[in-house]
Amino acid sequence: MAIAERTANVVWTGTLTQGSGVLTLLSGATPELPVTWASRTKRSEGRTSPEELLAAALAACFSMAFSNDLSDAGTPPTRLDVEATATLGQTGAGPTVTGIALTVRGAVEGIDAAAFKQAAAAASKGCPISRALSPSVTIALDADLL
């Protein structure tokens, strides 16, 4: 049974390299987002890419999972700063997301650096987006207390 379903829509016109698309999140959470091949492989210039959206999805998912795990352990976070950077590389199969660097800095009372890193590692493997990407995309985690 589904807990939730979310929908995005893209209207693309033209060829891959000369064309462009408009991405709409049907939730209405953002305005329409322009997307082009150049925004994936060169400069974003105010446009997004699937890789940026994937990084955003992982950062949001991980921050929720980590916050929940810390709270369940009796050490709720005051603040978690999470950044994710997705890398698009060329492989034998063609352009492929080859990895995501996930960085978290947190303010958490009552926890030491080792426990923070251990909890972050568990959350980075346990959030739904991480599980969706595993094992084909490597997630490199850098976690430290603020």
Query: What's the pLDDT score for residue 1?
Result: 86
d(CA 47, CA 38): 9
Spatial contact of 130 and 124, defined as CB atoms under 8 Å apart: yes
- DSSP calls for 29-69: SS--EEE-HHHHHS--TT-B-HHHHHHHHHHHHHHHHHHHH
Query: What's the pLDDT score for residue 43?
Result: 85
Nearest residue to 35 (alpha-carbon basis) of 10, 58, 54 = 10
pLDDT < 50: residue spans in the chain: none
Q: Where in the chain is the domain with CATH 3.30.300.20?
A: 50-145
Query: What's the pLDDT score for residue 42?
Result: 87
d(CA 145, CA 132): 27
Helix (H) or strand (E) holding 100: strand 94-108
Superfamily of domain 50-145: K homology (KH) domain (3.30.300.20)
Query: What's the pLDDT score for residue 134?
Result: 92
Query: What's the pLDDT score for residue 83?
Result: 98
Nearest residue to 145 (alpha-carbon basis) of 56, 81, 66, 58 = 81
Q: What is the DSSP letter of 137?
A: S
